[in-house]
Structures are given as C-alpha cells and as structure tokens.
Chains A and B, each alone.
Chain A
Amino acid sequence: GQQVMQIPQYQHVQEGEDFTTYCNSSTTLSNIQWYKQRPGGHPVFLIQLVKSGEVKKQKRLTFQFGEAKKNSSLHITATQTTDVGTYFCAGQSGNTGKLIFGQGTTLQVKP
C-alpha cells in the first residue's frame, strides 16, 4: 500500500537557525498537505500543495512539491521557540479523501 516516509525524525536547532524536513511517497500523489502538532495538541493544517513543482510560502515557512508529485519539503527560516512541535506531511491519492501521514519530524528550538 501507499507509504509516506519523512526525515529526520528529530531535529534540535538553536533559535535563529534554519530547519528542513523532507517527505517522500511511494506513489504519485494528487496532493500533499502539511500539519503541525504542538505537544499535547491535535494536528493543525498548515498548507496543501497540488501542482507539480509548486512552491508556497507562509512568512518564514516555505513548502515545495516535487516535479514528480512524490516528494515534498518544509523549510523554516530563522526558527523561533514558537516553531516547536511535530511537523507531519500527509499524502492524498485519488479522490478517496483519506490522508496517509508521514512519521513526523519533531522540532526542538533552543533559545
């Protein structure tokens, strides 16, 4: 079945450093979504990428969708302590609506 792999599992950075997490799917995706889960909270939607090669920005966050629509990345510039949490990519295939989540990358930011 469809698998979504995400690396790294953990990342510790000093405040102000950049951070990147990578996501790879075993199958071509119709879209990919990114979620953030704060400790003790539930996943919250960040963004959805649909088009091949798409790049979207949200302030310090940059999201990319690969040309083959099988990989994606999230890059955070100049991390802040508020960026702490686990970032999940989630791939969607076809029109079933269901999302397959990657393992997540847990970001710790040292002030």
Chain B
Amino acid sequence: SAVISQKPSRDICQRGTSLTIQCQVDSQVTMMFWYRQQPGQSLTLIATANQGSEATYESGFVIDKFPISRPNLTFSTLTVSNMSPEDSSIYLCSVVSGQKNTGELFFGEGSRLTVL
C-alpha cells in the first residue's frame, strides 16, 4: 500500500493567480498521476508525472496551464496557473504502489480549490 499526503487540502484563490499542490508519498513509486474531479463529476486524468522527465499530458490539458514537477520517486507538484472559476475543482494525486506499472491506485485526500 501507499500513504499519500497532499496539501493544501483546500484553498480559496483569486482569479488570475496560480497555486501549487504538493503530493508526498511514503514510499518510492514509479507511477504518479494527477486527476481532476469537478463537482459531482468523475475523475479526469490530467497527466502522468514522470520522474526525471516532462509529464505526459492527456488531451485537453497543457503544460503551460498545469505545470508538473517530479524531482524524485516520492514527490510531485501540480501547479494550476492563471486560475479562473472553471478551475474550481478537487485535484487528486494518485500512485500505483511500488515499482509496478499496473494495479490499484492509491489516492491522496485531494485538494479542493475554489476560484473566485
């Protein structure tokens, strides 16, 4: 299993500002993912955070808007840049435990962002 600490747990942000979310895992993992969950909706994959290289973004998400860092095998950050009210959402960090590429995902508690 994996224990994930994510912060901030929630924040209220002003339009046009940027916020960085941190994700810390209690063990080394190969696969880290960032998901977005808009109110009452499902989880949408933003990107796969790759250690030592650029993140791999899904269709509809770009690096300029959601820059991601992955400096080591236990930590990643997601920045939501130039925020608008449409970015109000829960952002979730998730990992596949250990060095596997497939298997169950463990999720952080999520970061609930409200953009005014």
Interface residues of A, Cβ cutoff 8 Å to B: 1, 30-31, 33, 35, 42-45, 48, 88, 90, 92, 95-104
Contact = CB atoms under 8 A, between A and B. Distances in A.
Contacts of A103: 41-42
Interface of B: 30-31, 33, 35, 41-45, 48, 59, 92, 96, 100-110
Chain B contact residues, majority secondary structure = loop
Contacts of A90: 43, 105
A35 B33 CA distance: 16
Contacts, number: 55
A33 B104 contact: yes
A90 B94 CA distance: 14
B104 A95 contact: no
Contacts of A44: 107
Contacts of B41: 103
